[in-house]
């Protein structure tokens, strides 16, 4: 069995499949297993020892863990299919949504995951040059985080812990309509984060590097087909926020799976996630299964684990049926 992606989905499947008695290899492009458990979610929310212990137990139980292997770039899906009787794709979703405003790429403007990965690596004892030289370190800076999900909350709370001078969170809807958890907002406020509700960026200001965010106040207009009110800019309400670090936390989409895996027959949904048979977790390609965020879109750890276990059951049934057919 080959599993692509060592996040909670892939590792939960590996655990089950090993218990069923299969030889399992997990491939991950990072230098550690754990996916967003190790490099996304900050240490103050999730104790990394727990993740590293789970990984160690898997290795001791006979699961082969191969880090630094990027499927689609280093090794192809076709090679993995030739090497293994079945393959599970549990690669998560990582294409960060852009701001789409002028100044988006100025030095000092960072993607949320770049910032969180650097912070997590430092906490794990790694040397991170972009943190040491101050690029990805919020200490002493006026930080603006743009977005209203849990990733944005992790960024603001990390910036506070790094000793930022001020931390502001800009979100275009109101508190009641934000996607992130209210508990996280409460914690962030207690820690000193200031929220600018109903505000959206118009541009990122600066020359050689960022020095501020130009924003506009919003109001909630008519509901879209999903029933959610659309934020609309209030004319003439522009305002400026000083900033020497801006973090973009606007959510994640799947990368182009067919291009990444060189498999045009790998069917995707209209959101770009992998299409699977809900009963078996198998994709449109025979013997290739999928689980976790790459099937659901950005979701939760519990769902990735559940999907990984369900996929393991689907893979077990597939391999048993294949063995029975071969014996006939």
Ligand X SMILES: Cc1cc2nc3c(=O)[nH]c(=O)nc-3n(C[C@H](O)[C@H](O)[C@H](O)COP(=O)(O)OP(=O)(O)OC[C@H]3O[C@@H](n4cnc5c(N)ncnc54)[C@H](O)[C@@H]3O)c2cc1C
Q: Applying CB under 6 A, which residues contact ligand X? A: 4-10, 27-30, 35-37, 40-41, 45, 70-72, 90-92, 116, 150-151, 154, 292-293, 299-302, 304
> Are 3 and 25 within 8 A, CB to CB?
yes
Q: What is the nearest approach in angstroms of ligand X to the Cβ of residue 235? A: 34
> Are 68 and 29 within 8 A, CB to CB?
yes
Q: What is the nearest approach in angstroms of ligand X to the Cβ of residue 206? A: 26
Q: What is the nearest approach in angstroms of ligand X to the Cβ of residue 40? A: 4
> Are 133 and 157 within 8 A, CB to CB?
no
Picking from 261, 258, 209, the residue whose alpha carbon sits closest to that of residue 75 is 261
Q: What is the nearest approach in angstroms of ligand X to the Cβ of residue 213? A: 21
Q: What are the φ and ψ backbone dihedral angles of 155, each rounded to 5 degrees?
A: -70, -45
Nearer to ligand X, 83 or 320 (CB): 83
Nearer to ligand X, 259 or 321 (CB): 259
> Are 49 and 57 within 8 A, CB to CB?
no
Q: What is the nearest approach in angstroms of ligand X to the Cβ of residue 217? A: 27
Picking from 91, 112, 99, the residue whose alpha carbon sits closest to that of residue 268 is 91
How many residues in the chain? Answer: 328
Nearer to ligand X, 144 or 215 (CB): 144
Nearer to ligand X, 75 or 220 (CB): 75
Q: What is the nearest approach in angstroms of ligand X to the Cβ of residue 232? A: 28
Nearer to ligand X, 215 or 291 (CB): 291
**Sign of the CA dihedral with 83 first, then 66, 70, and 254 last:** positive
Nearer to ligand X, 71 or 118 (CB): 71
SS3 221: strand
Query: What does the alpha-carbon distance between residue 180 and residue 184 come to, in Å, rounded to a whole number?
Result: 7
8-state DSSP, 278: T
Query: What does the alpha-carbon distance between residue 227 and residue 271 come to, in Å, rounded to a whole number?
Result: 19
């Amino acid at each position: 069995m080959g599993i692509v992606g060592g996040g909670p989905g892939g590792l939960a499947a590996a655990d089950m499949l090993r218990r069923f008695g299969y030889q399992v290899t997990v491939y991950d492009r990072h230098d550690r297993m754990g996916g967003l458990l190790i490099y996304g979610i900050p240490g103050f929310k999730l104790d990394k020892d727990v993740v590293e212990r789970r990984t160690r137990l898997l290795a001791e139980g006979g699961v082969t863990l191969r880090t630094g292997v990027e499927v689609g770039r280093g090794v192809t899906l076709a090679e993995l299919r030739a090497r293994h009787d079945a393959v599970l794709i549990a690669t998560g979703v990582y294409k960060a949504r852009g701001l789409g405003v002028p100044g988006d790429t100025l030095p000092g403007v960072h993607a949320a995951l770049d910032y969180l990965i650097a912070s997590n690596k430092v906490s794990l004892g790694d040397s991170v040059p972009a943190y040491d030289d101050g690029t990805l370190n919020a200490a002493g800076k006026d930080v603006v985080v743009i977005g209203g999900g849990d990733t944005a909350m992790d960024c603001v709370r990390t910036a506070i812990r790094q000793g930022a001078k001020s931390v502001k969170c800009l979100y275009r809807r109101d508190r009641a309509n934000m996607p992130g958890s209210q508990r996280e907002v409460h914690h962030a406020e207690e820690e000193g984060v200031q929220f600018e509700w109903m505000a959206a960026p118009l541009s990122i200001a600066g020359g050689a590097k960022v020095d501020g965010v130009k924003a506009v106040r919003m109001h909630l207009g008519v509901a879209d087909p999903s029933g959610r009110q659309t934020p609309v800019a209030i004319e003439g309400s522009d305002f400026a926020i000083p900033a020497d670090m801006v973090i973009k936390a606007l959510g994640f989409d799947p990368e182009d799976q067919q291009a990444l895996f060189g498999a045009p027959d790998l069917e995707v949904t209209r959101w770009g996630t992998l299409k699977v048979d809900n009963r078996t977790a198998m994709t449109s390609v025979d013997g290739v299964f999928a689980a976790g965020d790459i099937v659901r879109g950005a979701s939760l750890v519990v769902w990735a684990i559940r999907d990984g276990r369900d996929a393991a059951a689907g893979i077990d049934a597939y391999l048993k049926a294949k063995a029975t057919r071969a014996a006939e």
